[in-house]
């Protein structure tokens, strides 16, 4: 929290005091934590917000809260499990036919501390954080390509700084399983995805960010020891969401190049000084190829 408080002294409040009525935003993992805080702030500014959540009951409570607190009725709910690639494809296809989209916020994530497989035989962290983010984004890119001032923001984590991209073991099949490190690897993968997408789609502004360590339900449940040690100095959910909001609504954000990694409204390096975490371009290309293969495997050909 201290880091946020000192950084925020240089923020320009006018950057986020904008009216986004008529613009459409999709936020994944929007029923709690940073996703919900972001959705609420966009709703306050008049945006149409699509909440994509896995748990129907919790999602309905979150939607109700956002509508009540902001007075904005243009809040829509979609129930999708982001660890299920077929479901994401199905959702994206339907969404494509029924809605427009200006801004995609990839916020949903999970940190499962033991190696669990989904019904498709995918390791759960990889399925949600990496493949889910990849499919959601690539499936919605054609819709974003048609929009004015289109943006994609992915919520990563500073934990990715301790990981070098590893394309040889995407599903953590070898060696002991450490959920925290698997999560950090997924978050490194999201940074690489963002850089690659920025090169491929010039008329969409891509960014990835670290929200700082915030007091969210996800941190409490997946990192209980860290939470107990740090709870008095964690950021609030709104502080964690501040840079997501800034990247989603401010005119300032898109003056900066596409593909950067942000913390506290500033682009920051994606590697620590003298780090061993840089990967060769062929590894980054390999990641894109493997994810594309996976994604096509789960894309069902719809009748007609």
C-alpha separations of 288 from 2, 130, 131, 206, 295 in Å? 37, 11, 10, 16, 10
In the predicted model, what is the mean pLDDT of residues 5-27?
97
Please choose, from the candidates 83, 106, 101, 109, the residue with its C-alpha nearest in 3D space to the C-alpha of residue 141.
101
Task: Summarize pLDDT for 191-230 with one digit per residue, the tens.
Answer: 999 999 999 999 999 999 999 877 777 777 777 787 688 7
Radius of gyration of the chain (CA): 18
Among residues 183, 197, 261, 262, the one annotated as catalytic is 183
pTM value is 0.95
Q: Give the homologous superfamily in CATH for domain 1-298.
A: NAD(P)-binding Rossmann-like Domain (3.40.50.720)
| pLDDT, mean over the chain | 94
pLDDT of residue 228: 80
Q: What is the pLDDT of residues 59-104, one digit of tens each?
A: 999 999 999 999 999 999 999 999 999 999 999 999 999 999 999 9
Are residues 99 and 24 in contact, defined by beta-carbon separation less than 8 angstroms?
Answer: yes
- 26: β partners: 50, 104
Q: What is the pLDDT of residues 119-156, one digit of tens each?
A: 999 999 999 999 999 999 999 999 999 999 999 999 99
183 is an active site residue:
yes
Residue 257 gets which letter from DSSP?
P
Q: What is the mean pLDDT of residues 16-40?
A: 97
Q: Looking at the predicted structure, is the pLDDT value of residue 302 above 70? A: no
Query: What is the mean predicted confidence (pLDDT) over 255-278?
Result: 96
């Amino acid at each position: 929290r201290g880091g946020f408080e000192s950084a925020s002294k240089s923020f320009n409040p006018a950057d986020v005091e904008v009216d986004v009525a008529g613009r459409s935003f999709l936020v994944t993992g929007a029923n709690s934590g940073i996703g919900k805080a972001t959705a609420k702030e966009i709703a306050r500014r008049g945006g149409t917000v699509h909440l994509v959540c896995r748990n129907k009951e919790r999602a309905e409570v979150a939607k109700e809260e956002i509508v009540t607190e902001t007075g904005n009725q243009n809040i829509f709910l979609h129930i999708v499990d982001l660890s299920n690639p077929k479901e994401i494809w199905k959702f994206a296809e339907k969404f494509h036919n029924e809605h427009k989209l200006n801004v995609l916020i990839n916020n949903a994530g999970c940190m499962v501390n033991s190696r669990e497989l989904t019904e498709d035989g995918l390791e759960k962290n990889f399925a949600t954080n990496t493949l889910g983010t990849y499919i959601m984004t690539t499936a919605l890119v054609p819709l974003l390509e048609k929009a004015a001032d289109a943006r994609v923001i992915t919520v990563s984590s500073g934990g990715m700084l301790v990981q070098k991209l590893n394309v040889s073991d995407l599903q953590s099949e070898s060696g002991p399983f450490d959920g925290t490190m698997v999560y950090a690897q997924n978050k490194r993968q999201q940074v690489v995805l963002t850089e690659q997408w920025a090169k491929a789609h010039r008329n969409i502004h891509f960014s990835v960010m670290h929200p700082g360590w915030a007091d969210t339900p996800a941190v409490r449940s997946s990192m209980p020891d860290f939470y107990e040690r740090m709870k008095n100095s964690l950021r609030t959910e709104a502080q964690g969401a501040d840079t997501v909001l800034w990247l989603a609504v401010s005119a300032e954000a898109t003056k900066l190049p596409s593909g950067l990694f942000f913390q506290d409204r500033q682009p920051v390096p994606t590697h620590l000084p003298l780090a061993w975490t840089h990967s060769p371009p062929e590894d980054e290309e390999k990641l894109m190829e493997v994810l594309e293969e996976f994604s096509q495997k789960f894309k069902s050909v719809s009748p007609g």
